[in-house]
């Protein structure tokens, strides 16, 4: 039940994180940092892996957003609106990544797989195979786990790819139990949709 509540509110958070302003995103980033320290997760290692991506994202918005010019050189200019927008998007992306890492370190992969498959169960009516979806999710989580264990960076990335393509990498045998959509799951699904619609209407 606890895992269900965590995933329930995590999905709601990810659904609305795009509407958060800079202060709200900064508040959640600080909150996730506290959780990382309390759980003894490696926050510095995580930031080191995505630092170039975050810097690139920040400079794209800082240099490409029109507004009040703070500094310029030739055809390059930095605006105050661009800096604020860049920071907001960096914090938004960090919130998404930090939440996913916390979930992956707290909730078993099998539970996450079953939860997502049940959440996507209505897609069966438009031709989506839920069992194939479960296999794809399981493989994704398995490779994410191997990614973390291998300690990949810009120096070891190609070695990791070479191992995955060679015979040295163990083949993943996926054996997933059939996921059934029960009345309780239907209640959870209706509650999630109703809560998201109501909250979205209340915010806007």
85 and 140 inside one domain: no
- Angle, helices 2-16 vs 183-203, to 10°: value is 30
**Confidence band of 83 (pLDDT split at 50, 70, 90):** very high
178 and 84 inside one domain: no
The model's pTM is 0.70
Dist CA 47 CA 29 (whole Å): 12
Q: In what helix (H) or strand (E) does residue 71 lie, and over which residues does it extend?
A: strand 69-73
Which of 68, 85, 107 terminates a domain? The answer is 107
Range of the domain at 97: 1-107
112 and 34 inside one domain: no
Q: What is the mean pLDDT of the chain?
A: 77
CB 130 within 8 A of CB 121: yes
2 and 101 inside one domain: yes
The 10s digit of each residue's pLDDT in 119-146 is: 777 767 777 676 676 667 666 666 666 6
Helix residue spans in the chain (DSSP H): 2-16, 22-39, 43-64, 80-106, 109-119, 130-150, 157-165, 183-203
């Amino acid at each position: 039940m606890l895992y269900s509540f965590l995933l329930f509110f995590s999905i709601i958070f990810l659904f609305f994180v795009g509407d958060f302003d800079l202060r709200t995103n900064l508040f959640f980033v600080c909150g996730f940092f506290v959780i990382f320290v309390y759980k003894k997760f490696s926050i510095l290692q995580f930031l080191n892996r995505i630092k170039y991506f975050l810097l690139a994202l920040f400079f794209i918005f800082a240099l490409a957003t029109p507004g009040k010019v703070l500094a310029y050189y030739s055809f390059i200019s930095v605006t105050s609106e661009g800096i604020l927008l860049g920071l907001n998007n960096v914090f938004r992306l960090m919130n998404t990544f930090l939440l996913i890492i916390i979930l992956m370190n707290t909730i078993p992969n099998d539970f996450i797989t079953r939860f997502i498959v049940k959440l996507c169960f209505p897609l069966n009516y438009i031709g989506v195979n839920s069992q194939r979806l479960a296999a794809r999710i399981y493989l994704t989580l398995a490779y994410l786990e191997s990614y973390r264990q291998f300690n990949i960076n810009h120096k070891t990335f190609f070695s990791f790819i070479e191992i995955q393509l060679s015979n040295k990498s163990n083949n993943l045998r996926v054996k997933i139990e059939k996921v059934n959509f029960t009345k309780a799951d239907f209640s959870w699904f209706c509650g999630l949709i109703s809560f998201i619609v109501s909250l979205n209407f209340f915010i806007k």
